[in-house]
Amino acid sequence: MSKKPVVSLAVAVTGLTMVGTANADFQGIEWDVVNNSEFGTTFRVYAMMDPGDRLDAVAGNSSQPLSFSSQGDFYQNVNGGPTSKEINSNFFPFVPSLEWDSYVTVGALYQDGFPFGENNLNNVGIDWGSFESGADLYTDNGTYFVTPDQQQGQAIEVQTNAGNGYGVLIAQLTVSYPRALFSGLLQGKDANGDTWQASVNDAVIGQLTPPAPGALAVLAIAGFAGPRRRRG
């Protein structure tokens, strides 16, 4: 695949200027809890849409930054990486904690592309340093994306906190504080091949109400509320 279409798509997405608007094909951000462990609560985060629609890019620009944020730490396994391209599921039997790494994606869970046949995720302009150390992910000039011919951008039936629906996975997050926020620009195509775009501000992932002070104290004692750090 030549690099020219990839770069042009990235520039087009990061150049989006719309804020506070959404196409009807985009139905919102939803999530599912897939694990609770010593590393925190693991959420899978989905962009929900109509059957037959797809997501191509998650981006941030000066008008609408891209961010995943939390009052807690994002668990980062030393054997993983910031995107699903670095998550080798063949290592799970040897490093079980790798399965709960925090990372971003479009559709595919792992390096092998599951539940699709391959993983062709790309990213441009994102500094992963803070996120990989356990802090928030933020960019106002970057995107992660797939090209419109890649199957992994297609909406599939998923189970979320709101029930069954059609969505595309955009992140797995394991966080010590059981809530996170997502903001960013989304772009994809509907079932007719027409482009849709949406701007998301502070979509809540996890509990709407923070834990009681006593619960936070327990988390602190357990070591979950300490300084941000990269943990293996």
Residue 94 lies in a domain: yes
Residue 89 has pLDDT above 70, yes or no: yes
Query: What's the token pair of residue 119?
Result: 């993983």
Per-residue pLDDT of 142-176, as tens digits, reads 999 999 999 999 999 999 999 999 999 999 999 99
Which residue, 157, 160, 131, 7, is CA-closest to 69?
131
Residue 232 lies in a domain: no
Position 230 confidence tier, pLDDT thresholds 50, 70, 90: very low
What is the spatial distance between Cα 197 and Cα 55, in angstroms, rounded to a whole number?
9
Per-residue pLDDT of 171-195, as tens digits, reads 999 999 999 999 999 999 999 999 9
Residue 226 lies in a domain: no
Residue 136 lies in a domain: yes
Domain that holds residue 26: 4-221
**How many helices and strands in the chain, by DSSP H and E?**
3, 12
Among 93-107, 154-168, 181-195, 212-226, which is the least confidently predicted range?
A: 212-226
What is the spatial distance between Cα 175 and Cα 72, in angstroms, rounded to a whole number?
6
Per-residue pLDDT of 13-57, as tens digits, reads 444 544 334 456 899 999 999 999 999 999 999 999 999 999 999
Residue 228 lies in a domain: no
Residue 229 lies in a domain: no
Query: What's the token pair of residue 191?
Result: 């079932």
Judge if pTM exceeds 0.85: no
Name the region of 226 (left: φ>0; alpha: ψ -120 to 50; beta: rest): beta
Q: What percent of the chain has pLDDT over 90?
A: 78
Mean of the per-residue pLDDT values of the chain: 86
Residue 146 lies in a domain: yes
What's the structural domain count of the chain?
Answer: 1
Residue 230 lies in a domain: no
